[in-house]
Structures are given as structure tokens and as C-alpha cells.
Amino acid sequence: MFELILRWYHGLNDDRMVQVKAAIAVVGAILLLWYWLADDVPRLRRWRRLRDGLLIAIGLVSCVSWWNIGRFHFNPFIHYYEFYHYYLGAKYAPELGYTRLYECTVAAEEEYAHLGPRLERAPIRDLTTNVLGSSAEALAHPEKCKEHFTPERWQAFMRDSDYFRRASSWDFWTSGLKDNGYNGTPVWRILGGLLANRVDEMNDASLYHLAYLDPLLLFAMMAMIWWAFGWRTLCVTLLFFGTNYAGRYWWTGGAYLRMDWLFAMIASICFLKKGKPFASGFFIAYSTLLRIFPGFVAAALVLKIVIASVRAKKLAITPAQKRWIAGCAVAFVTLVPIATVYGGGVECWSGFVHNSAKHLQTPLTNNMGWRTVVAYSRSTRAQVDRDYRQQDPFERWKQHQLDNYKSRKLVFVVGLVGFLALLGMAVEKHDDWIALVLGTGLIIFAAQLTCYYFIGWLAFGLLWPYLKWSGWALALVSYLSCQIPLAFLGWDDERYVAISIVYILFALAVTVALARVSGETLAPSPRTIETGKRNKRRKGRGRAATR
């Protein structure tokens, strides 16, 4: 039996792991359905300890499943070309900017490892236009890169770049040269660049030390949820965290500082739940400065303030909201100047803005969001629209995506405005921390993001004690996100359109539910938030009665 289990474990790949996650999500959904029904069906209230024990087991198994049960990338822990982008992009940002990473890499490899003939056959993406092209220009004119470096920095860059080439297979490494470059914000580079520049020369030990930062941030996030919401709610969020398809380890696990925004966003909600609005404001602003889109989470609370002010016909803001805004302001007035100075001036921000605008005009097959759904057309899907005779087989598909969205932009705007109206109806009735959770739903309506950022959907798990059906519904979302790619043989673009629809329906259902009930009636179930302290108080009352 042990040998069979060991053989199965070593035979795991991404597809089989997705099947495992789908099974865990189904079991978790059934368990959370039991929790929900136990509130209204006396017979189901029995076996509370069994129910709690199963919830702990599901939470732990789900958490381990995000790391693919220790198989990581189905052997290496490190995601080398993700690491290559963010380590080199941060360390050499003054020389590379946002556009020279790939051309400088091939120039460095030619000089350092004499790989010119092989590199000539490897296409690279022109990061000024995001168009896939030849490496010939970079190989023919290495001085266009070297002029941005001092001799010492060029030598260091060649060594660091060659480390990642040697650490990966040739096919995997060259596929990284066709990606979309380094996209860190100037604020992200404060920590990312500081740590990267402390490494004189990249080696295995340095790589792993930096790679452990993301797991530490994830465990810190889990500790924050436990502190603010309790261990049961933590287990519910872990169920989604570990089993959802879009945000699995495959994309950004084993990379460099890719989870800092998630920690800061969830920490903001936790701080607000615990009555610490200043810290909440600081962390949501920090998360926004790291990845921009968490600003939509903050926008939900701003919307609540605006609605209250319109109804009162004057600025209506509570003392807690004032402290929250103060926290946001402190984050901006401290971090933005530090990032500007560290980044070499305001040019670092203009470069980031230009780079972001370029990416907004570059559809990807793993994009998710309302805009992705609006732009989809079966006649122009990637499976039929690709053309391998072209340097970039997906160039025609990308253009059709832009054309489809342009012709249907009114549909996108109507959907976004409609959700904003619904969101406004919900946030004005409930606590500020709930407004931040609901702001997570605004992300999928207002932004078009690569799929792995929707790991932030775990924030909806924080509503579980208050909106009792949302737990099993979130687990069902996770199951469907796994089942769609398992059952659907199309390309990624169609898979993520289908997954986007599931996420959108869930966001709508939760927002509608909260828009229909008042804050006074949204009481947590005692069977889902009962703590050890409450148990001790009950035991104490029991002893007093016997005396």
C-alpha cells in the first residue's frame, strides 16, 4: 500500500493535482453545507466536534495542496523564470528600466557564454511594443544595452543572468524571453530592489533565501486571519486558497515577492475588523502601491462614504473612517517619495505608467474579468484564431480581442455601472470591513488581470460566519474552477472566460444578498465563531451552578 501511495505521489503532475484539488473542494463544500444547515436543523447540530475536526483537516490539506503536496513545480520549488524577471528587474532597474530586460539578457549571454548561434534562433519579446520578434538586433548591437551599465554592473548582470540560464532547461529559459517583462511598481522595488542588491552574485543559497519570503508572507496572512476572525474562518479561507485553479502554485509559487500585495490586502481587512482603522488604511494603500488593483477594494469603502455624504447633503464620515483615510494618506506620503528617490526620480513612475498602459493593450490567454468575458467571441477564440506561420502565433487573436472589446465597450460600461450601483446598496448597510471584502468583487468587474491575482478571492471566506451559505458557495466556485479545465478541452482563453463567469456570478450573489439585509440582522452564527474563551466561560458558569 505504501509503495502504491509513493508511486502515486511521484507520478503527480499539474493535471492530476487539479483533480485532487477538485475533490478536496467538493468535500469542503459538503462540510460547509453541513455547517449551514446545522443552524436551522436541530438534528444536524450534533457531532460538533467531528464537524470541527473535519474542518481543521480540510483546512490543513487545502493549505498543503497549494504547494502541490510538496511537489511544488513537480520537482523544483523555484519558478526560475518568474524569479529571473523580478530579481533581475528589481536589482538592475536603473539600467534595464521596463523595456531592456530581454535584449540585455541575450547580449549578456552572447558575451558571457558565447551562445549567439543558439540565441539567434530564439525569439524575444520587444518590451517597448510587446510584439514578439527576433533577437538579431540585440545580438548585433550589444552596446545599446551596455551603455546603460558601468563595467562593474555589466559584469554582475552577466553573472546573474547566466545563473538563471544554467538553472533552467534551454526550452524553459527561452520561453521566459517571450513573456511580458518585469512589471513591479516603484514602491514594490523599495523592498524588492533593496534585498536583490544585497546579493553580490546569485547562487542557490541566495535564491532560496529570497524564495522563502513569499511563504513567510502567506503564513503571516494566515495568522492575521486567525487573529481577526478565528480558526474556523481561517480554515474556510484556506479551502479556497489551496484548491482554486486560477491562483495555483503553477503561476507564481516559488517566485520572488509575489505575495506581498495579498498579505497587505488581507491584513487591511483584518485590522479594520479588529478596530484598527489607521493600520487598515496604511496596509490597503501599501497593497495598492504594490499592485494597483487592490485600490478597487479600498474604493468600496470610499463609495460607502460618498453615499452617506450624498444622503446627508454634507461630508458624513465617522471617526474610524477618518483614521482609515489618515492611514492611507500616511502610506502615500511616505512610500511614494521614498520610491521616487530610490528609483532615481519621477521617471521611474512615468516608465511604470507607460509600461502599464502597454499591458492594458496586450490581451493574454490567462486574463480574467468582466472585460475578458465581454471581449470573448467563439469565432475569434485562440483555438481557431492562432497562426503559427507568424512570429507571434497569437498576434491576430490579440487584435481581435481589442476589436471585440472596442465594439462592445458599452456592454462593459453598463455591467460595471450596474455592479457599482449594487455595491453601493450593499456597503451602506454594513460594517466598513465588509465593504472592503465586497470591494474584492469590484476587481473582477473593473479590471482585467492575469488569473493568478484572483487568489485574493479568499477574502470572501471572511464573510462565512455572517453569510452562512457563502462558505459552501465559495468552495463550489473553487471546485468549478478546477472542473472547467478538466472537462473543457479548449484553450486557456476559453477556460478563463468560463471561470470568470463563475467568479462574477458568485460576486453578484454575495453582493445581492448583503444588499437585501441590514447590518443589524447580519449576525454571526455562534456555531461558526465560538471560541475557546466562550467555552471556558460556559464551564465556569456550570461550576458556579453546582456550587
Cell of 201: 552574485
Low-confidence ranges of the chain (pLDDT < 70): 489, 525-547
C-alpha–C-alpha distance, residues 213 and 451, integer Å? 22
Residue 125 bridge partners (DSSP): 132
Return the exposure string of 321-349: e unless at least 16 CB atoms fall within 10 Å of the residue's CB, then b.
bebbbebbeebbeebeeebbebbeeeebb
Whether 287 and 268 have beta carbons less than 8 Å apart is answered as yes
Cell of 75: 520537482
Instruction: Concatenate the DSSP letters of all residues of 347-365 into one string.
Output: HHHHHHHHHHHHHHTS--T
C-alpha–C-alpha distance, residues 489 and 470, integer Å? 29
Tally Cβ neighbours within 10 Å of residue 219: 12
SS3 485: helix
- In the prediction, which pLDDT does 39 show? 82
Report how far Cα 206 is from the mean position of its chain's Cα atoms: 25
- In the prediction, which pLDDT does 544 show? 38
Instruction: Concatenate the DSSP letters of all residues of 11-58 into one string.
Output: T--HHHHHHHHHHHHHHHHHHHHHHHHHTT-GGGGS-HHHHHHHHHHH
Instruction: Give the contacts of 511 (CB within 8 A, at least 6 positions apart).
Output: 419, 422, 423, 426, 438, 441
- In the prediction, which pLDDT does 525 show? 66
Cell of 490: 479548449
C-alpha–C-alpha distance, residues 407 and 374, integer Å? 10
Instruction: Give the contacts of 138 (CB within 8 A, at least 6 positions apart).
Output: 102, 103, 104, 106, 107, 124, 144, 145
Residue 449 bridge partners (DSSP): 368
DSSP state of 523: P
C-alpha–C-alpha distance, residues 495 and 486, integer Å? 10
C-alpha–C-alpha distance, residues 471 and 496, integer Å? 22
Give residue 450's identity as a one-letter amino acid code.
T
Instruction: Concatenate the DSSP letters of all residues of 57-90 into one string.
Output: HHHHHHHHHHTGGGTTTTS-SS-HHHHHHHHHHH
SS3 260: helix
Whether 83 and 214 have beta carbons less than 8 Å apart is answered as no
C-alpha–C-alpha distance, residues 62 and 64, integer Å? 5
- In the prediction, which pLDDT does 341 show? 97
Strands (E), 113-217: 124-126, 131-133
Instruction: Concatenate the DSSP letters of all residues of 438-468 into one string.
Output: HHHHHHHHH--EEGGGGGGGGGGGGGTTTST
Greatest Cα pair distance, the chain, in angstroms, is 92
* CA–CA distances in Å: residue 489 to residues 383, 485, 498: 10, 7, 12
- In the prediction, which pLDDT does 526 show? 60
Task: Match 548582470 to its residue by C-alpha cell.
Answer: 157
